[in-house]
A = this chain, B = another copy of it.
Amino acid sequence: MKKPKYQLIIDFIKEKIAKGEWAIGSPIPSQRNLAKQFEVNRSTVITALEELMAEGLLEGKAGKETVVTNNTWTLMGAKYSTNWNENVTLGIHKPSVSMVQEINQAESDTNLIQLSKGELSPEMFPLEEMKFIVQKISNQLTSFGYEEPKGNLKLRQAISDYLKVRGIEASPSSILVVSGALQALHLISIGLLKRGSTVLLEMPSYLYSLTVFESAGMELQGLAMDKEGLIIDSIYLTKEKGKNILYTIPTFHNPTGALMQEKRREKLIAYCEREQLPVIEDDVYHDLWIDNPPPKPLKAMDLYGNVLYVGSLSKTLSPGLRIGWIVGSESVINRLADLKMQSDYGSSTLSQLVAAEWLSSNFYDSHLDKVREQLRVRRKVALDALDKYLSPYATWDIPKGGLFIWVKIKPEFKVKRLFEKAFSNNILLNPGSIYAEKTGQFIRISYGYASLDEIKVGIFKLSEIIKIK
Contact = CB atoms under 8 A, between A and B. Distances in A.
Interface of A: 14-15, 18-20, 23-24, 55-56, 71-80, 82-84, 108, 119, 122, 125, 127, 130-131, 134-135, 137-139, 141-148, 178-180, 182-183, 186, 190-195, 197, 208, 211-212, 215, 217, 241-243, 245, 276, 278, 303-306, 308, 314, 318-323, 328-332, 335-336, 338-339, 341-351, 354
B141 A138 contact: no
Given A82-B191, A191-B78, A343-B186, A319 B144 contact: yes
B119 A142 contact: no
Contacts of A73: 192, 278, 305, 308, 328-329, 331-332, 335
Shortest Cβ-Cβ A-B pairs, 3 listed:
A144-B320, A125-B143, A320-B349
Nearest to A279: B72
Contact of A212 (B119, B131, B195, B342): B342
Contact of A305 (B18, B127, B137, B349): B18
Contacts of A328: 73
A193 B20 CA distance: 19
Given A18-B329, A342-B82, A348-B322, A141 B127 contact: yes
A178 B343 CA distance: 11
Contact of A190 (B80, B148, B194, B322): B80
Contacts of A148: 108
In the assembly, how many copies of this chain are there? 2
A90 B163 CA distance: 42
A76 B197 contact: yes
Contacts of A180: 344-345
Contact of A144 (B74, B146, B318, B336): B318
A341 B104 CA distance: 12
Nearest to A212: B342
Nearest to A137: B134
Nearest to A449: B145
B144 A134 contact: no
A281 B320 CA distance: 29
A350 B354 contact: yes
Given A76-B197, A78-B193, A144-B318, 11 more contacts: A74-B331, A75-B242, A83-B338, A125-B144, A130-B141, A134-B350, A145-B319, A146-B319, A180-B344, A322-B349, A344-B344
A383 B17 CA distance: 49
A20 B137 contact: no
Contacts of A138: 130-131, 134-135, 138
Nearest to A148: B108
Contact of A122 (B143, B195, B242): B143
A80 B339 contact: yes
A194 B78 CA distance: 5
